[in-house]
């Protein structure tokens, strides 16, 4: 393992999903790290559902403004030309399908593209947030997460066991071990991360995986 953390490697790989000229929503947690890795010259507008269009990279210590936060209550910076608006206007953007891509965290993803990412029964939560609107309003949904949970159990399943955020909404999953595409009849293994083999990815995935004819290995 190199000096990069697993989360950094996932976030850098997720950045490749962003097309120049697109409007992108980054979910709470690891997805917010993607903002730090957007390539120079790539024209991207980041949107936060609490009412900010034009999020920049994470602030340096001297740049922190406690009044400037994203939906996860993390301090952010604003790019030149950024705009601020109400929560209602923000969700009008999302529900009106004006967001090209949403990169979100996940607790479980099923082989049908179902997503569970908003609660674990019995644990205290502050609310479901905007994920249920985002997964139905954004044009493409990419989930980034660990391939297995803290117990070593698969998080990519035949069926989700946790309460669903949305059914048949996920397009692609990027984990610490692999990139997996949701296709019409299941899941397709597209890439295998450094340090992992195809057999190891299959063994740590409950859902059946088809292998892409163009499978790439060691890509991130």
- Tell me if 117 sits within 8 A of 75, measured CB to CB: no
The reply to whether 62 belongs to the active site is no
Q: For residue 83, give the nearest of 52, 59, 44 by alpha carbon.
A: 52
CA distance 140 to 124: 30
Nearest alpha carbon to residue 148 among 185, 191, 197, 202: 202
Q: What contacts 127, CB < 8 A, 6 or more positions away? A: none
Among 49, 108, 111, 191, the active-site one is 49
Q: What ranges make up the beta strands (E) of the chain? A: 22-26, 44-48, 52-55, 78-84, 101-105, 108-110, 115-116, 141-144, 156-157, 172-174, 178-183, 186-192, 209-217
- By the 10 Å C-beta count (0-12 exposed, 13-18 middle, 19+ buried), 181 is classed as middle
Active site residues: 49
């Amino acid at each position: 393992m190199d000096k990069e953390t697993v989360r950094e490697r996932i976030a850098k790989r997720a950045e490749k999903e962003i097309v120049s000229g697109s409007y992108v929503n980054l979910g709470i947690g690891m997805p917010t790290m993607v903002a730090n890795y957007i390539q120079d010259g790539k024209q991207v507008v980041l949107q936060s559902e609490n009412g900010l269009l034009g999020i920049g990279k994470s602030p340096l210590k001297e740049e922190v403004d406690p009044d400037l936060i994203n939906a996860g209550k993390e301090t952010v910076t604003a790019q030149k030309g950024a705009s601020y608006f109400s929560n209602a206007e923000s969700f009008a953007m999302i529900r009106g399908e004006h967001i090209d891509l949403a990169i979100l965290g996940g607790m479980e993803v099923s082989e049908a593209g179902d997503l569970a990412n908003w609660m674990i029964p019995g644990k205290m939560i502050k609310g479901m947030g905007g994920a249920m609107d985002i997964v139905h309003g954004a044009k493409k949904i990419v989930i980034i997460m660990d391939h297995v949970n803290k117990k070593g159990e698969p998080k990519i399943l035949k069926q989700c066991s946790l309460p669903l955020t949305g059914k048949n909404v996920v397009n692609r999953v990027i984990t610490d071990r692999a990139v997996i595409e949701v296709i019409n009849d299941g899941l397709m293994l597209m890439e295998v991360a450094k340090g992992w083999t195809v057999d190891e990815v299959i063994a740590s995935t409950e859902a059946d995986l088809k292998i892409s004819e163009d499978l790439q290995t060691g890509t991130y």
